Amino acid sequence: MLRAILGVVGGLVSWMLIATIGNIVMRLAWPGYSEVEKAMAFTPAMMLARLLLGALASVGAGIVGAWITKGNGRAIVVLAIVLLAIFIPVHYGLWDKFPFWYHITFLLSLVVITPLGSMLFRSRARAA
């Protein structure tokens, strides 16, 4: 049980770290990104980049969660649900800032891609 809790916490921390580092990289590398970030007035390309960053963070969270829990699928499902529970209120507050497709894609990616990340870890662990 402790390992499952640690896996969920580790997955959450890794999601936040990956997303934060990726966002810093986008601010530094993408001219104009940081200027529109405060107003959340992103171009479609910027929104897609943000979705890809979220997907990468979800894969990383799934891998870290699976690594800590030694592949406990239930813990990864809990991790995905916790991520969803964290981000639903955030996206509700930002509803008018982004198009519908953006919100749905992001929220669905949390529950689909996080378990896929854990599957990547489990398949590599079995191969080793």
Give the predicted TM-score (pTM) of the model.
0.92
Say whether pLDDT at 124 is over 80.
no
Say whether pLDDT at 22 is over 90.
yes
**Domain range spanning residue 87?**
2-123
Please, are residues 32 and 83 in contact by the beta-carbon 8 Å criterion?
Answer: no
In tens, the pLDDT along 48-81 reads 999 999 999 999 999 999 999 999 999 999 999 9
The answer as to whether 117 is a domain residue is yes
CA nearest neighbour of 70 among 121, 14, 15, 117: 121
Q: How many domains does the chain have?
A: 1
The answer as to whether 8 is a domain residue is yes
The answer as to whether 103 is a domain residue is yes
For range 2-28, the mean pLDDT? 97
Number of C-beta neighbours around residue 37 at 10 A: 16
For range 85-106, the mean pLDDT? 97
